[in-house]
Amino acid sequence: MLEKYLRLLVYVKRHWQIATVMGVCVTALTGFRVLVPFLTGAAVNDIVAKSPVSSVAYLAVEIVAVSAASAAFSFGLSYGGQALGQKLIYDIRNTIFTSIQSQSFSFYDRNETGQLMSRATGDVEAVRRFVAFGLGQLLSNTFLVGGVILSLFYLNLYLAAIVTVVFPVILFLSWKFSQTQGPFWRLTRRNYGAMNSVLQQNVTGARIVRSFTAEEGEVSRFAATNQAYRDGIVGSSAIRAVYVPLLSLVISLDLAALYYLGGGRVIAGTITLGELVAAANLLALLSGPSRFLGQLILIGQNGMAGFDRILEVIDAKADVKDKPGAAQLGEVKGEIRFENVRFGYRAGRDVLKGVDLEIPPGQVVAFVGLSGSGKTTMANLIPRFYDVTGGAVKLDGMDVRDVTLKSLRGSVGLVSQDIFLFSATIRENVCYGRTDASQDDVERVCRLARADEFVERFPDRYETRVGERGVTLSGGQKQRIAIARTLLTDPRILILDDSLSSVDAGTEYAISDALKEVVKQRTTIIITQRLSTLRLAQRIVVFDGGRVVEDGVHEELLAHNGTYAKLYQSQYAPQDVPSTEADR
C-alpha cells in the first residue's frame, strides 16, 4: 500500500507549487483553529474575574478576526485541493491513454473494453475525489490533531492526560475500520468495471441484441452486475454506520471525563475555569475529524482501489515493442519470407505449425483456407501485430523484430473484414493515415476503391459525416472507404483480409479491376474464403490446420484434387472458374 501512495505522490510532486500553497494554508489554518479555544478560555476567566467589559470585547473581536482568517485559509486549502485534483487526473488520464496506445494486440485480447473505459473514467474520478477532497481533509485533520495535542500539553498537563488517554482507542478503531474497507472497495471498483463492460457491449451491439430479441436477458445481466456494485457499497456503508458513531461515543465519553475530573480541579482551585473550557473546546475540535474519519477512509480506500486498477494499465508491458537499436526500414522492395514460423495465441496451442513460405517482391498472393486455418494469423505477423513464438518473419531479408514498428507498419497497408470508421467526415476517415493529403489525392483513391460512386451522391460529398463506426453507411460502402484509406498511404505491402466480403458481385469485380494497377506496384496478400476474389492473384497458397498444404495456380491446384479443389467444388460449378493472373 505504501508503494501505491508513493506512486501517487510522484504525480503530486509535478504540481509542487499548489501542494506548497496547500501546506501553508493547512499550517495557518491549524494555528488559527487551536487559538480560538485559548481566546475563549481567556474570555471566561475575565468574565469570572469580573474584568472590564472592554477586555472581554477585545477578546471577542480577536475570536471573530481569527475565525475569519481561518475561513480564508480553509478556502485556500479547498480550492488548492480541487485544482490539484484536476491537474492530477489530467496527467493520469494522459498516462493511461499513452499506455493503452503502446500496448500490443494481446493486451486487448486479455482486457474487456468496458473495463479499460472504467479505469480511464470511474477509477480516475475516484482518485480525483481522494486528492481534491480527501487529501486536503487528511492534511487538515492530521495537522489539527497534532495541534490539539501540543496545545493541550501547553495548556495543562493534567487535562492533556485526560484527553490523550483515549487516543490509542481512537487509532485502533480507525485502523480496524480501514482494514475492513479495503477489500470492499477493491471489489466495488471491479464490479463497476464489469457493469461498464455490460453497458458498453449493449450499446455497440444494440443491433445484435434487438435481432435476437435478447433484451430481457441483457437487462437481467446488467441488473446482476449493478446489484453486485450496489451491494458492495451498502456493505461498506453498514460497517461505517457502526464505526463512526462508535468513534463519536469515545470522544463524548472523554469529554464527560474531562468535565468530571477537570471540574473537580476547578472547584479545588488548582486550575481555572478558563483552562477547563479551553481544554473542552480543544477536545471538541476533534469531534469533527472523528465524525469525518469514516468518510475520509471510504474516500481514501475507494481512491486507492481505483489507483491500483489504473496502475495495472500503466504498468502493463507491451509484448511487441522496439528492441534496443532497432533499425529504420529504408526503401522497401517487398520480399517476404516466413522461416519455420510457429505461433499460438495461448501457450501450448499453436495456430501456425512450422510454416515456410517465400513471397517475391511485387507478387500478388492469395491465402485461402477454411476459417481458423491460420491465413489471417500469418498476415498479422508481417506488421508485428503479434510476434512469432518460433522461427522468423523477414522483410527484404531483415527480421521484422529488428526494425522499428513505426517504419515497419508504415510500409504495410491492411484492409480487414471488420471495418472501423471514426465518427467523422468521409474525408477525415480517408485521410486518417495521411492528414496532409490533398483533395485530389482523396478523390483519386476513392475512384480506385470505387467509393466515389456513392460519395458523389451525398449532398455534402466528402464532408458527409458517417456516424459512430460508420453506422450511416452500408457494409460495402464502409469497406470501400477503408480500401481508399489504405491506398492513400501508398504502402509497399498491401494486405486485403476478406476486404471485399461485404460488396456485391458487380462492385467486387469493379474494385478488383481498378486494383489491378495498384497491386502491380506492391507486394499484395489477398486473404479470402470467397474464391471469386482471386482474379488479382498470381499465386494461391492454401492453409489447413496451421500449415501450408498447397501452393500454386488455380489450374494446378484443381488438378491436384486436394484442399483447394474441395473449397472450389463447395462454391462453384465447373463453368464458374475464377481464372488468376497466372492462368491468363
Residues 268-307 pLDDT 10s: 888 888 888 888 888 888 777 766 666 676 677 777 777 8
- How far apart CA 30 and CA 14 sit, in angstroms, is 26
Is residue 304 a part of any domain in this protein? Answer: yes
Tell me, rounded to whole angstroms, the distance of Cα 28 from its chain centroid. Answer: 39
Residue 321 within a domain: no
Indicate the SS3 state at residue 473: coil
Burial grade of 439 (CB within 10 A; 0-12, 13-18, 19 or more): exposed
Same domain, 350 and 307: no
CATH number, domain of 482, equals: 3.40.50.300
pLDDT on residue 331: 83
pLDDT at 163 over 80: yes
Do 455 and 482 form a contact (C-beta atoms < 8 A)?
Answer: no
- Residues with Cβ within 8 Å of residue 79, at least 6 apart in sequence: none
Query: What mean pLDDT comes out for the span 310-336?
Result: 83
DSSP class per residue in 359-425? E-TT-EEEEEESTTSSHHHHHHHTTTSS--SEEEEEETTEEGGGB-HHHHHTTEEEE-SS----SSB
Report pLDDT for 138: 77
Q: In this predicted structure, which of 12-26, 236-250, 389-403 has the lowest mean pLDDT? A: 236-250
Residue 583, pLDDT > 80, answer no
C-alpha span between 1 and 300 (Å, rounded): 12
Same domain, 290 and 358: no
Cell representation of residue 321: 515493442
Which residue has cell 487529501? Answer: 135
Clarify whether residues 310 and 341 are in a common domain: no
Distances (CA, A) of 501 to 180, 476, 518: 56, 8, 19
CA separation, residue 77 to residues 87, 138, 140, 274, 493 (Å)? 15, 11, 8, 31, 59
Tell me if 164 sits within 8 A of 152, measured CB to CB: yes
Domain that includes residue 391, residue range: 336-576
Q: Assign 3-state DSSP to the chain and report helix, strand, coil percentages, each to 5.
A: 65, 10, 25
Position 203 scores a pLDDT of: 67
Distance, CA of 199 to CA of 356 (rounded, Å) = 44
Same-domain check for residues 493 and 443 = yes
Examine the domain organization and report whether 459 and 571 are in the same domain: yes
Residue 546: per-residue pLDDT: 84
63 and 29 both lie in a single domain: yes
Q: Are residues 293 and 348 in the same domain?
A: no
**Beta-carbon contacts of residue 138 (< 8 Å; ≥ 6 apart):** 296, 300
Residue 424, domain member (yes or no): yes
Q: Is residue 509 part of a domain?
A: yes
Average confidence (pLDDT) over 549-554: 85
Verify that 245 and 102 share a domain, yes or no: yes
Q: What pLDDT is attached to residue 165?
A: 83
Total domains in the fold of the chain:
2
- Domain check: are 415 and 544 in the same one? yes
Max CA-CA distance within the chain? 121
User: 58 or 28: which carries more pLDDT confidence?
Assistant: 28
DSSP structural state of residue 339: E
Kindly write down the DSSP assignment for every residue of 103-153, as one continuous string.
--HHHHHHS-HHHHHHIIIIIHHHHHHIIIIIIHHHHHHHHHHHHHHHHHH
Residue 424, judged by CB atoms within 10 A of its CB (0-12, 13-18, 19+), counts as middle
Model pLDDT, residue 582: 47
Residue 324 lies in a domain: no
Give the pLDDT of residue 405: 86
Whether residues 432 and 306 fall in one domain: no
Measured torsion, CA atoms of residues 231, 233, 235, 240, in degrees rounded to the nearest 10: -160
Do 380 and 242 have their domain in common? no
**pTM of the full predicted structure?**
0.68
Q: Is 546 left (phi over 0), alpha (psi -120 to 50) or beta?
A: left
Task: Choose the weakest-confidence range: 143-157, 386-400, 404-418, 494-508.
Answer: 494-508
pLDDT at position 577: 47
Q: Where residue 575 falls among pLDDT bands split at 50, 70, 90?
A: very low
**In the predicted model, what is the mean pLDDT of residues 223-238?**
78
Same domain, yes or no, for 131 and 232?
yes
- What's the one-letter identity of residue 202? N
302-332 as b/e, with b when 16 or more CB fall inside 10 Å? bbbbbbbbbbebeebeeebebeeebeebeeb
DSSP-based three-state secondary structure for 547? strand
Helices (H), 461-551: 475-488, 505-519
pLDDT in tens, 395-430: 888 888 898 888 888 888 888 777 777 778 888 888
Residues 577 and 534: their CA atoms lie apart, in Å, by 10
Give the mean pLDDT of the chain: 80
Q: Hey, is 325 helix, strand or coil?
A: coil
Is 193 a member of any domain?
yes
At residue 249, what is the residue type? Answer: L
Decide if 97 is inside a domain. Answer: yes
Report the CATH number at residue 243. 1.20.1560.10
| Cα angle: 557, vertex 563, 564; to 5 degrees | 45
Domain assignment of residue 449, yes or no: yes
